[in-house]
């Protein structure tokens, strides 16, 4: 069979969606040739994020098919360009939610490439600066500029590292930015999914008193016994909520479903901060809940390259590991369906190395 690759390019096997049904199936394509500052990675694992559902099923209306999802990528370096000095063949590395940026704007200069003024290039389904469409980690390999490649600390399991590249950094970055690492302070975590369970783990590692808020009583034992939260509260119970008025220094809201904000804002102490990392369809709250308590509501996405590497080192040093369910690529369609049903504790990770052949 004649190869579709050009000089220097590499054949790559992936799984792609070809239409808005989102159904994934095997797909062959080419990765670009390794440039002077590029790192070529043999992918071993890739986490499954709800973004994979959103774009494979064209929920935003900008999906470009065939679409290879996946932006929680880890693997082993198999080649580097002549200008790469931070990585070598055999290193364990990761790639997160973006693979390029302008590299010269104010935010890129500050290590906040995710906020690039000219637009960070997402890891899949995004127009790169060379005119190609990016393809993600449900694939056998990837080539990225060294700036967007992260070192996985020695001894840290690759499968566990994958969810840190999105779920982990999405909560770690705003927690650090808003000083949620002050021992003895109180933290509320809304939602107990992929992001929420990492917020609990980071909160406990920071020495905080952590409360999980959920609408589901079934999450109680998980929150307290499995994840080590200090308290569990049913957020729909008005009496429980009222009893905790003005009790929290910080709240991190990971819920993407629509929910009221006023009950949570009333839980914050004076000058307390609520950080939103979920994506509900709207935010409604009474101005008094901001003004009278001198409270703040803030939004955040993932972190920049510096804080992502910092988070990976922190997790390795403190022994923080996501709770994962490892699955073969052949299970990806069912895993995405289960993710929609919230039937995962707490992150699926695809074993690319042993199942994508």
| Domain harbouring 176, CATH code | 3.40.50.720
- 159 lies in the same domain as 172: no
Following CA atoms 126, 127, 130, 134 in sequence, which dihedral angle do they give, to the nearest 10 degrees? 20
Answer with the one of 262, 284, 299 that is the final residue of a domain. 299
Identify whether 225 is part of a domain: yes
Identify whether 192 is part of a domain: yes
Question: Domain residues for 25?
Answer: 10-165+322-355
- 161 lies in the same domain as 181: no
H/E run at residue 18: none
Q: Would you state the pLDDT for residue 180?
A: 92
Query: What is the chain's pLDDT, residue by residue, as a tens digit (357 residues)?
Result: 334 556 578 899 999 999 999 999 999 999 999 999 999 999 999 999 999 999 999 999 999 999 999 999 999 999 999 999 999 999 999 999 999 999 999 999 999 999 999 999 999 999 988 899 999 999 999 999 999 999 999 999 999 999 999 999 999 999 999 999 999 999 999 999 999 999 999 999 999 999 999 988 989 999 999 999 999 999 999 999 999 999 999 999 999 888 999 999 999 999 999 999 999 888 999 999 999 999 999 999 999 999 999 999 999 999 999 999 999 999 999 999 999 999 998 999 999 999 998
Q: Would you state the pLDDT for residue 5?
A: 57
- 34 lies in the same domain as 148: yes
Predicted TM-score (pTM) of this structure: 0.93
- 26 lies in the same domain as 115: yes
Identify whether 312 is part of a domain: no
Identify whether 305 is part of a domain: no
Alpha-helical (H) ranges within 110-230 are: 158-161, 167-177, 194-205, 220-221
Nearest CA among 10, 161, 14, 15 for reference residue 76: 161
Q: What's the structural domain count of the chain?
A: 2
Identify whether 273 is part of a domain: yes
CATH number at residue 133: 3.90.180.10
- 181 lies in the same domain as 267: yes
Q: Would you state the pLDDT for residue 130?
A: 84
- 155 lies in the same domain as 260: no
- 226 lies in the same domain as 96: no
Identify whether 221 is part of a domain: yes
- 103 lies in the same domain as 185: no
- 33 lies in the same domain as 121: yes
In 3-state terms the chain splits into helix, strand, coil percentages (rounded to 5) of 30, 25, 45
- 255 lies in the same domain as 154: no
Q: Would you state the pLDDT for residue 6?
A: 60
Identify whether 308 is part of a domain: no
Identify whether 347 is part of a domain: yes
- 179 lies in the same domain as 249: yes
- How many CB atoms within 10 Å of residue 256? 16
DSSP string, 276-338: E-S--S-----THHHHTTT-EEEE-----HHHHHHHHHHHHHHT----EEEE-GGGHHHHHHH
Q: What are phi and psi of 164, to 5 degrees?
A: -65, -25
- 126 lies in the same domain as 194: no
């Amino acid at each position: 069979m004649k190869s579709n690759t050009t000089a220097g390019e590499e054949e790559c096997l992936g799984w792609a969606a070809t239409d808005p049904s989102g159904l994934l199936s095997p797909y062959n394509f080419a990765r670009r040739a390794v440039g002077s500052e590029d790192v070529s990675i043999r992918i071993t694992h890739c986490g499954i994020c709800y973004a994979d559902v959103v774009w494979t099923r064209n929920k935003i209306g900008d999906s470009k098919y065939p679409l290879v999802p996946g932006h929680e990528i880890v693997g082993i370096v198999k080649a580097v360009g002549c200008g790469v000095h931070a990585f070598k063949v055999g290193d364990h590395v990761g790639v997160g939610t973006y693979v390029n940026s302008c590299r010269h704007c104010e935010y890129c200069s500050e290590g906040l490439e995710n906020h690039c003024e000219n637009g960070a290039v997402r890891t899949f389904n995004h127009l790169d600066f060379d005119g190609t469409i990016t393809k993600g980690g449900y694939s056998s390999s990837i080539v990225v500029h060294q700036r967007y490649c992260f070192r996985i600390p020695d001894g840290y399991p690759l499968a566990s590292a994958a969810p840190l590249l999105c779920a982990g950094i999405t909560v770690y970055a705003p927690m650090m930015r808003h000083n949620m690492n002050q021992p003895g302070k109180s933290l509320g975590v809304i939602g107990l999914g992929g992001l929420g369970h990492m917020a609990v783990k980071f909160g406990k590692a920071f020495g905080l008193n952590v409360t999980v808020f959920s609408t589901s009583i079934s999450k109680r034992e998980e929150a307290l016994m499995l994840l080590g939260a200090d308290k569990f509260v049913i957020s729909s119970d008005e009496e429980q909520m009222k009893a905790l008025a003005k009790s929290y220094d910080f709240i991190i809201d990971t819920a993407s479903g629509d929910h009221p904000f006023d009950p949570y804002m009333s839980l914050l102490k004076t000058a307390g901060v609520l950080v939103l990392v979920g994506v509900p369809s709207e935010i409604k709250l009474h101005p008094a809940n901001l003004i009278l308590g001198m409270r703040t509501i803030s939004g955040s996405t993932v972190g920049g390259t510096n804080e992502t590497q910092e988070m990976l080192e922190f997790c390795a040093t403190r022994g923080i590991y996501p709770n994962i369910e490892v699955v073969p690529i052949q299970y990806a369609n069912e895993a995405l369906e289960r993710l929609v049903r919230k039937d995962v504790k707490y992150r699926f990770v695809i074993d690319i190395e042993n199942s994508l052949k």
